[in-house]
Amino acid sequence: DVAAAENIPYPFLAKLVGQLVQAGFLDSFKGPTGGIRLAKPPHRISVLDVITAIDGSDAFQGCFLGLRVCSEESPCPLHNDWKIVREKLVRRLEGASIADLASNSQPQMS
């Protein structure tokens, strides 16, 4: 059992798997020979797509300091620096596939 082997609470793992099935990254099969498998080749699944499926499209939005009012018009002290870092991070995660993670290789940046 994956939950026990990885010391992850089963309800958390079940919810995560459900989100990934719903997003089309995993197929699940019930029954005695059931289980889960990737629904697409691993090189076609970006790390960013997985994060977005789990955390939503706002995963990298918002103020780094957690301020409710932080925008281009009214920036916090870290706004401009965080914007640059966030853009680079999103590009990096977009260019990395789960195959890259599995092989422990560096993804090619485009």
Distance CA 102, CA 105 (A): 8
d(CA 10, CA 93): 27
Sequence-ordered list of residues with C-beta below 8 angstroms from that of 51, at least 6 positions apart, any chain = 59, 93
Domain count, the chain: 2
31 and 55 assigned to the same domain? no
Give the angle 56-61-63 at the CA atoms, nearest 5°: 140
For the whole model, what pTM was predicted?
0.78
- Do residue 87 and residue 63 come from a single domain? yes
Owning domain of residue 92: 43-110
pLDDT tens across the length of the chain (110 residues): 788 988 999 999 999 999 999 999 999 998 888 889 999 999 999 999 999 999 988 888 889 999 999 999 999 999 999 999 999 999 999 999 999 998 875 555 55
- Residue 28 sits at φ, ψ, to 5 deg, of -120, 145
